[in-house]
Structure 1
């Protein structure tokens, strides 16, 4: 499974729409989760809307949290997305094989067997998470919390039975035509990320869309391309409603 975890305070202001970029990622089998970070004050209405729409288009979930909640939140979002993908795949197979909508329609003994298989899959399936960090000027006070969240996420992934790896990117880059910088290629070793954030220079612009597309290209080049079938209208509506609930501020 491939995920991009975007950590931002919203307000993309350069280049392609991040919502369109997220939709392209999802069409290639990459889920986009978004953690919106606030401290003093709030994310503006535009920023909050953008965060929710990016996650929705990318088939993922979004949360708006404070810096101190960030580490727990990124781990929770990663786990939820894996569990959701497993559940979706299992329900698809149930529809194909038994013409039933979901697990709840099975008799309890059989349901228990499948739940156990799902739990095992959540722990053993391969997982690649590309972290994309907003390094615009407004994120500077939150960088320490982001660093801690990245380290803790990597450690939690190391504890999984399945192969897990993390890559780290930040945006914008050093020049106006450098939208995104790769700070760490795929790794399972949290110690390799220890001194990463001291090298990041915070800058003014927020090219979220172009940065997302560059990370998609990296995943495509290193992990291959997986095209997914577009969901039907009912599935899209269901996912959107679910994301609207999960995009609420975590207090």
Structure 2
């Protein structure tokens, strides 16, 4: 199987509808065209988001090829990890299915022998653990989010721990929107270790504006900045064993047929 590039995700955490700038649905579609998955978590208390907010959360994720959920603040940390992992698995499944189609033609995966299907499933799991992962967490800093920020900080901390447990290389950045001088402000630059989640709120000024769409556009640029800072290549190479396997053009065929 051909080598997978870094799996890139934007994770939007918000509690309301966008009210400024380009449609977040259109922005998410643009991100998807660039190979960036957009996941969205709506954080609510007492059904405060409303039908329109919930609809926007779903539509942003659908346009961005990602997943969405509406949760209470106490559920946020677990949901961040779950959505990220599920979105990774979905992306890898799509890549594997394309490779299988090139080999099998139109033969459905279900027509493979059970042991071969198990091999494919195992390969997907391995790729999920060993592929490079880059995540930009985009946190709504409108006024209504203020009481939920402690839960967001805890989610960032727990998420960073979960990333370290992966075999593959993982890196994340955290931004809030709106920023002081732009639609988005980077609070924690690209890193593979986030030990101080309190940086999220240091000097943070809450706002009544929610420019979700423009913030997604600016978050997309962070991936290019990260790529350039790494010398134009994936920021960290996969482990040698995976490189050796992926360099073999017949990797998938050898494992399935």
Structure 1 length normalisation: TM-score?
A: 0.85
Can you list the C-alpha shifts for 1:91-116, whole angstroms capped at 9, x where unaligned?
11111111245432210122222222
* CA–CA separation in structure 2 for the residues paired with 1:10 and 1:50: 9
Q: Which residue of 2 aligns with 1:145?
A: 151
Q: Which residue of 1 aligns with 2:126?
A: 120
SS at the partner of 1:131? Answer: strand
Can you list the C-alpha shifts for 1:209-245, whole angstroms capped at 9, x where unaligned?
11110000111232379xxxxxxxxxxxxxxxxxxxx
Q: Which residue of 1 aligns with 2:62?
A: 56
Post-superposition shift, 1:150? 1.0
SS at the partner of 2:209? Answer: coil
Would the aligned equivalents of 1:37 and 1:65 in 2 still touch at CA under 8 Å? yes
Q: Which residue of 1 aligns with 2:216?
A: 212
1:39 corresponds to 2:22 = no
Q: Which residue of 1 aligns with 2:17?
A: 11
* CA–CA separation in structure 2 for the residues paired with 1:59 and 1:36: 17
SS at the partner of 1:191? Answer: coil
- Unpaired stretches in structure 1, ≥5 consecutive residues: 226-251
**Residues 182-197 of structure 1 correspond to what in structure 2 (within 5 A)?**
182-197=186-201
Q: Please say which structure displays the higher CA radius of gyration.
A: 2
Q: Which residue of 1 aligns with 2:205?
A: 201
Q: Per the alignment, do residues 148 and 101 of structure 1 end up closer, same or farther by CA in structure 2, a change over 3 Å counting?
A: farther
**Residues 83-162 of structure 1 correspond to what in structure 2 (within 5 A)?**
83-100=89-106, 102-162=108-168
SS at the partner of 2:78? Answer: helix
Post-superposition shift, 1:66? 0.5
What is the RMSD of the two structures over their aligned residues, measured on CA atoms? 1.5
Q: Which residue of 1 aligns with 2:247?
A: none
* CA–CA separation in structure 1 for the residues paired with 2:201 and 2:14: 15
SS at the partner of 1:39? Answer: coil
- Unpaired stretches in structure 2, ≥5 consecutive residues: 1-6, 233-257
Between the two proteins, the alignment pairs up a number of residues equal to 223
Q: Which residue of 1 aligns with 2:185?
A: 181
Can you list the C-alpha shifts for 1:75-129, whole angstroms capped at 9, x where unaligned?
0000001111111111111111112454322101222222221111010000000
Post-superposition shift, 1:24? 0.4
* CA–CA separation in structure 2 for the residues paired with 1:213 and 1:46: 22
* CA–CA separation in structure 1 for the residues paired with 2:124 and 2:188: 31
**Bigger shift: 95-104 or 20-29?**
95-104
Can you list the C-alpha shifts for 1:141-161, whole angstroms capped at 9, x where unaligned?
111111111111111011000
